[in-house]
């Protein structure tokens, strides 16, 4: 019979690390409880979400698109995309001397400049 009494926690961890390397990350996720344990860790969970968002920007969050207008456009792509309307409006104000711009909402509607101008007058 093998005597494991001389094995230290460090010995076990080193060998376990080798076994995990042999199995691979994808294989480890099939071990019962590993996927759940890793997903429950806030730092790992946030890292997974951030990586997904980086690789899937068009799916990750709706964007407010700033487009050039009046034949000045850059083709079929917006000039820039922003996470919220306030940032898109600020960008348009900064670029106002470079041309005319329009903001397209995530739902496909266009920003109504007349309502904003009306609100600024009051």
Q: How many domains does the chain have?
A: 2
For residue range 36-83, list pLDDT tens digits in order.
999 999 899 888 988 888 888 777 766 788 888 866 555 678 888 888
Cβ–Cβ under 8 Å, residues 36 and 61 = no
Instruction: Indicate the length of the chain as a whole number.
Output: 122
- Residue bearing tokens 């007058």: 121
**Percent of the chain beyond pLDDT 70?**
84
Please report the pLDDT score of residue 41 as a whole number: 92
Cβ neighbours of residue 68 closer than 8 Å, sequence gap 6 or more: 74, 79, 99, 100, 101
Residue 113 domain boundaries:
61-121
Answer yes or no: is 36 within a domain. Answer: yes
Domain co-membership, 47 together with 95: no
Indicate the burial class of 103 (C-beta count within 10 angstroms; 0-12, 13-18, 19 or more).
Answer: buried
**pTM (whole model) above 0.75:** no
Answer yes or no: is 2 within a domain. Answer: no
Answer yes or no: is 4 within a domain. Answer: no
Domain co-membership, 30 together with 46: yes
Domain co-membership, 65 together with 112: yes
- Residue bearing tokens 């994808």: 26
Strands 80-82 and 64-68: antiparallel
Cα(96)–Cα(90) distance, integer angstroms: 10
């Amino acid at each position: 019979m093998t005597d494991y009494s001389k094995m230290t926690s460090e010995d076990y961890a080193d060998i376990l690390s080798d076994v995990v390397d042999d199995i691979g990350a994808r294989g480890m996720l099939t071990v019962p409880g590993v996927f759940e344990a890793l997903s429950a860790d806030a730092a790992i969970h946030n890292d997974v979400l951030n990586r997904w968002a980086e690789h899937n920007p068009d799916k990750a969050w709706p964007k407010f698109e700033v487009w050039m207008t009046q034949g000045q456009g850059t083709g079929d792509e917006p000039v820039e995309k922003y996470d919220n309307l306030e940032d898109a409006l600020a960008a348009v104000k900064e670029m106002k001397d470079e041309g005319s711009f329009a903001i397209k909402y995530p739902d496909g509607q266009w920003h109504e400049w007349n309502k904003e101008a009306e609100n600024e007058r009051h």
